Amino acid sequence: MFSGLKKRWNVNGWRLLLILITFAVAGSATGYLGKMLMSFLGIESAWLYIIIYVVAITIIWPLMVVLVSLFFGQFNFFRGYLGRMGKRVFGKKKNPASLPLTQTHPEPGPKIVRIAIFASGTGTNAQKIIDHFRHHPFIQVSMVVSNKPAAGVLGIARKERIASMVIEKEKFFRGNAYVDELKSYQIEFIVLAGFLWKLPSRLVSAWHKRIINIHPALLPKFGGKGLYGHHVHEAVIKAGEKESGITIHYVDEIYDHGETIFQEKVLVENGDTPETLALKIQALEHAHLPKVIEQVIQSVRN
């Protein structure tokens, strides 16, 4: 049960303990104050007593939670928790195809670096990035962005209770490129993890040298428009290359062109197919991408 709560609320064991203590103390205080109030009112009618008591503790409980959370240093968590409860009770349903699904994290302090992951597919790299930064002291995956409403990566975002956004081509390329929306989430870094659209210049300039991409080949070979996924691996094998690998690079206005940050190689063996080569490349991506993201952010932060 506790492991499930840690995953659901995206907290470590120590914070979970403080949160549960806050719930317990606030609940006890609410019950005590509720009984004091009813004793003061001196209501004799049983049904009226129940109605007023329920109304009273409904009002008192969130106030006590906020007050107690201040003493245990969990105010930010409970502010977000109560806000989500309020939205569920009073808020209107939003269209998940065009608006953020869930803003799971409370407003961060100035030291938190918030990442948005852009992906078009199943999101295996996105999951590895989320896992890597789950309990990081100052780096947080705060949003998942996709250009495909049915992309598997959006399911990962829902499961992980991370905000997600589906973007539309017209607004992305001829509108504001979703710069305003990303800035409203205080996004500082963008990671392209299998995102198939070329980024518009407005987005690139807004996050200059703060957007990185991973490409499943050793750039500058086998990069450019149309060279993604299995198309890259087919091209590598057809060209008779003896090695392939991954390239992690900064993003500019040209496909697969920005400054290289990191490369790792793998042998292309006789008998390799696009499918077997893809598995080798994927292993490199999972092993290195989260670590390189962390190193880049730390270098800028320092």
Catalytic (active-site) positions:
215
Tokens linked to 256: 């697969």
Q: How far is CA 105 from CA 15, 83, 142, in A?
A: 14, 11, 7
d(CA 24, CA 12): 19
d(CA 126, CA 131): 9
Q: How many residues does the chain have?
A: 302
Single-letter code of the amino acid located at 27: G
Q: Is 272 helix (H, G, I), strand (E, B) or coil?
A: coil
d(CA 160, CA 134): 10
Cβ–Cβ under 8 Å, residues 282 and 124: yes
Long-range contacts of 164-173 (CB under 8 A, 24+ apart): 164/96, 164/100, 164/101, 164/102, 165/98, 165/99, 165/100, 165/101, 166/96, 166/97, 166/98, 168/98, 169/197, 172/147, 172/197, 172/200, 173/200
- Strand spans (E) along the chain: 113-118, 139-146, 163-166, 187-192, 211-215, 243-250, 260-267
Residue 83's nearest CA partner among 100, 97, 66, 108 is 66
Single-letter code of the amino acid located at 226: G
d(CA 22, CA 13): 14
